[in-house]
């Protein structure tokens, strides 16, 4: 009798492991193979392998597979627990019915209880139409958990194939989205767009990887293959903690603390020449290793992760090589979301400032630069993690305030001697303040040159701000790394309690 039971179990298990549709050439790894590849070797444990959908409408009783169209389980990455679900396009197009959804609900709930990251490998045509409102209920339960666990455990999504409809809303709520270069995501596919809008558009034009990493900003990372995607997710987890109660891991590093890196070659002699902030970041951080987020979107600001003496930090830096480093609607959104993510997961913030202001003009005003720009003010003001700011060169107007000034709660503000901190640039300020003086002068050009020089003498340096305690110290550029590490050590046990509230109301 026992033999019969075991044989039946073995038969079911073999069926569950093999009862999959064939994977297409574009999908070189099966869902189960991706889960195993993601985890440390031999640690992936699959659960809910024997689940079956219960739909009997439209001939569905004869379709599907054991486990339905998603593989779920847990394992270790870098010897720490991580939970995963991988949708299987080879089974009913990876479509989501109630059984599929409940498997994801369960693995998300387990991740939250264990205080561990959840990774979703998405490859789904969307809601299973044959299941009607059950499919919609399934998505609702996922969205609820995405939201309730936001800021509690890290949530990482990878778009591995063609994802449509409800399948793209869950990723949008998660912390990070990877997209493979041949993958797509959209609310409605080209067929529906053609029928409803009369617009001819390909899948790549509508929701391809390039569109979402460069134009819409919906995705954070573009990768060439599923294998690269999995490797990049594993790397990301070296920068972020397991949950909101922990700090990131301390990692090994090669650069000595007093490396004295020569930054002079990076900084142009002419303050009007753009500084390549990527070169500066690489010179400052451990091993020159910077993990950039949203690298191709809103390139006038750079955000990402790095280590200083083995400690994980989030870096935000204006990029003068793109749009002169101004803040606009998209860069404000990008920066604000990154600040809030770091604050949620106890990752200190290092801000490198070289900003001429907010982008003027009707286009930005109509896009809502007021409310978008306010998001960054809100995010920095709300953040309670250690906040270290280094003013490199220009720091003008509201953008100076918005880039984590002392006035928004920066714990330590350092400045290079090249810093210019003022309401606006010299020429613009003189035109406003001395308009009548210049126009009534016998030699307007000479008068204007003199007034500009006077303004520069006062504000084209950081000392006025130092006198007024808006800046804590002026440092040589070569000291920057050492001083950041010193500040991080000084602030490692920072504790800041804010007023109790249910939650704030961030500008949208």
Pairwise CA distance, residues 216 & 294, whole Å: 11
> Which residue in 111, 29, 50 sits closest to 77, CA to CA?
111
183 in catalytic set: no
Selecting among 209, 399, 410, 422, the annotated active-site residue is 399
Pairwise CA distance, residues 230 & 70, whole Å: 17
165 in catalytic set: yes
On the CB side of 154, how many CA atoms lie within 13 Å of its CA?
30
Please answer whether residues 359 and 328 qualify as being in contact, where contact means their C-beta atoms are separated by less than 8 angstroms: yes
How is residue 232 written in tokens? 């990049």
Q: Identify any residues that bridge with 158 across adjacent strands, giving them in sequence order.
A: 121, 178
| 269 contact partners, CB below 8 Å, separation of at least 6 | none
| 495 contact partners, CB below 8 Å, separation of at least 6 | none
Pairwise CA distance, residues 36 & 297, whole Å: 32
Pairwise CA distance, residues 225 & 330, whole Å: 28
DSSP line for 209-266: HHIIIIIS---SEEESSHHHHHHHHHHHTTTS-SSTTSPPPP----S-TT-----TTT
111 in catalytic set: no
Pairwise CA distance, residues 400 & 33, whole Å: 49
CA angle 151, 314, 236 (to 5 degrees): 70
How is residue 309 written in tokens? 């003496």
| 302 contact partners, CB below 8 Å, separation of at least 6 | 277, 278, 281, 292, 295, 315, 316, 317, 318, 319
Selecting among 217, 398, 428, 478, the annotated active-site residue is 398
Selecting among 64, 94, 166, 304, the annotated active-site residue is 166
Pairwise CA distance, residues 454 & 430, whole Å: 10
419 in catalytic set: no
Pairwise CA distance, residues 394 & 294, whole Å: 24
DSSP state of 131: G
Please answer whether residues 130 and 55 qualify as being in contact, where contact means their C-beta atoms are separated by less than 8 angstroms: yes
Selecting among 165, 189, 314, 425, the annotated active-site residue is 165
Calculate helix-pair angle for 329-344, 369-382, nearest 10 degrees.
20
| 362 contact partners, CB below 8 Å, separation of at least 6 | none
Residues designated as active site:
165-166, 398-399
């Amino acid at each position: 009798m026992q033999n019969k039971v075991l044989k039946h179990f073995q038969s079911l298990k073999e069926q569950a492991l093999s009862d999959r549709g064939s994977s297409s050439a574009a999908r070189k790894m099966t869902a189960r193979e991706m889960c195993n590849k993601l985890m440390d070797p031999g640690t992936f444990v699959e659960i809910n392998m024997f689940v079956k959908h219960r739909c009997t409408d439209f001939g569905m009783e004869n379709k599907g597979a054991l486990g339905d169209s998603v593989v779920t389980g847990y394992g270790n990455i870098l010897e720490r627990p991580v939970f995963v679900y991988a949708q299987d396009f080879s089974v009913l197009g990876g479509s989501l019915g109630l059984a599929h959804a409940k498997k994801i609900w369960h693995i998300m709930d387990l991740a939250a209880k264990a205080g561990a990251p959840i990774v979703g490998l998405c490859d789904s045509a969307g809601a299973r139409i044959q299941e009607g409102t059950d499919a919609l209920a399934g998505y609702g339960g996922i969205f609820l958990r995405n939201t309730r666990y936001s800021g509690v455990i890290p949530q990482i999504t990878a778009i591995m194939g063609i994802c449509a409809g409800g399948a793209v809303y869950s990723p949008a709520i998660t912390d990070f989205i990877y997209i493979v270069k041949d993958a797509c995501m959209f609310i409605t596919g080209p067929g529906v767009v053609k029928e409803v809008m009369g617009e001819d558009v390909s899948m790549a034009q509508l929701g391809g990887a390039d569109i979402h990493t460069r134009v819409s900003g919906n995705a954070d990372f573009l990768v060439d293959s599923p294998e690269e995607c999995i490797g990049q997710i594993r790397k990301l987890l070296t920068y972020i903690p397991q949950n909101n109660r922990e700090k990131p891991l301390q990692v090994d590093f090669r650069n000595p603390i007093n490396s004295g890196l020569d930054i002079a070659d990076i900084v142009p002699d002419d303050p009007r020449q753009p500084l390549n902030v990527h070169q500066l970041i690489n010179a400052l951080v451990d091993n020159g290793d910077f993990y950039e987020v949203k690298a191709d979107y809103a390139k006038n600001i750079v955000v990402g992760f790095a280590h200083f003496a083995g400690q994980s930090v989030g870096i935000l830096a204006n990029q003068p090589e793109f749009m002169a480093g101004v803040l606009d609607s998209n860069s404000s959104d990008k920066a604000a979301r990154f600040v809030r993510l770091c604050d949620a997961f106890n990752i200190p913030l290092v801000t490198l400032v070289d900003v001429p202001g907010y982008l003027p003009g009707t286009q930005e005003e109509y896009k809502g630069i007021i409310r978008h720009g306010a998001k960054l003010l809100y995010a920095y003001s709300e953040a309670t993690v250690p906040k270290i700011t280094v003013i490199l060169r220009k720091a003008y107007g509201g953008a100076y305030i918005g880039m984590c000034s002392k006035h928004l709660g920066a714990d330590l503000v350092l400045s290079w001697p090249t810093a210019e901190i003022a309401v606006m640039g010299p020429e613009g300020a003189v035109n406003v303040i001395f308009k009548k003086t210049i126009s009534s002068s016998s030699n307007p050009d000479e008068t204007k040159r003199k007034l500009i020089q006077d303004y520069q003498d006062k504000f084209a340096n950081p000392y006025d701000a130092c006198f007024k305690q808006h800046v804590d110290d002026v440092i040589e550029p070569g000291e920057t790394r050492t001083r950041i590490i010193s500040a991080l050590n000084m602030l490692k046990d920072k504790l800041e309690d804010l007023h109790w509230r249910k939650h704030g109301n961030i500008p949208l």
